[in-house]
Amino acid sequence: MNRSRVLKSDSRILALTVLSLAGAVLGNGQPRPIDTAKSAMTVRVYKTGVLSAFGHDHQISAPIGRGAVDAAARKVELHVNAAALRVRDPNVSDKDRNDIQTNMLGSDVLDVEKYKEIGFQSTGAETAGPGAWKVTGNLTLHGETRPVSMDVREKDGRYAGTCRFKISDFGIKPVKAAGGAVRVKDDVTIEFDIQVAR
């Protein structure tokens, strides 16, 4: 084989290698949908007040309705059907759990008939260690959109995030009982557990 044929062959191999790598980079940069069957949001609401021993901390969950993750661009988008939120409090009666559920979805709190979706759209992300980021973005809740930050960790294509904020920033008044002697705290925590579709 002469030198010109060797050079042409090497050039073709190099071109194919470059195209393959470019395709891999572009493919990795595409948003990947969230596996909604394996992803969920949990809201933690805590009690306070002088008679808080008679109240309950609340654990509320809902599936992620839709969303996508673009790891290369460090972007995430999440949407939750507000009416799908379910009170999971383990230490209350079925009746109390149903009462809490009705109150939470009703017009005095989330008003899900009017504000049907909870959403998060990232605006930036900074590395916070191996497989960890501080993600900033806009949270939409109760018809209000506010900036929030979230601590996120990734392992094997699964992302876990925690976000803390005040519900009053979203126009929601903390629920009170017994003349305010028992009430929920203004500060709540949302936890996201997200599986990217394979």
Q: What is the pLDDT of residues 41-91, one digit of tens each?
A: 999 888 763 333 445 678 889 999 999 998 888 889 999 999 999 999 888
Q: Is the pLDDT of residue 103 over 60?
A: yes
SS3 state at 5: helix
- pTM above threshold 0.85: no
Looking at residue 64, what is its pLDDT? Answer: 95
Q: Which residue has the tokens 């909604």?
A: 36
Looking at residue 20, what is its pLDDT? Answer: 31
pLDDT tens column, 8-23 = 444 443 333 233 323 3
Looking at residue 72, what is its pLDDT? Answer: 83
**Residues sharing a CB contact under 8 Å with residue 178, sequence separation 6 or more, in sequence order:** 49, 51, 54
Q: Are 160 and 192 in contact (CB under 8 A)?
A: yes
- To the nearest whole percent, how much of the chain has pLDDT over 70? 76
Q: Is the pLDDT of residue 30 over 70?
A: yes
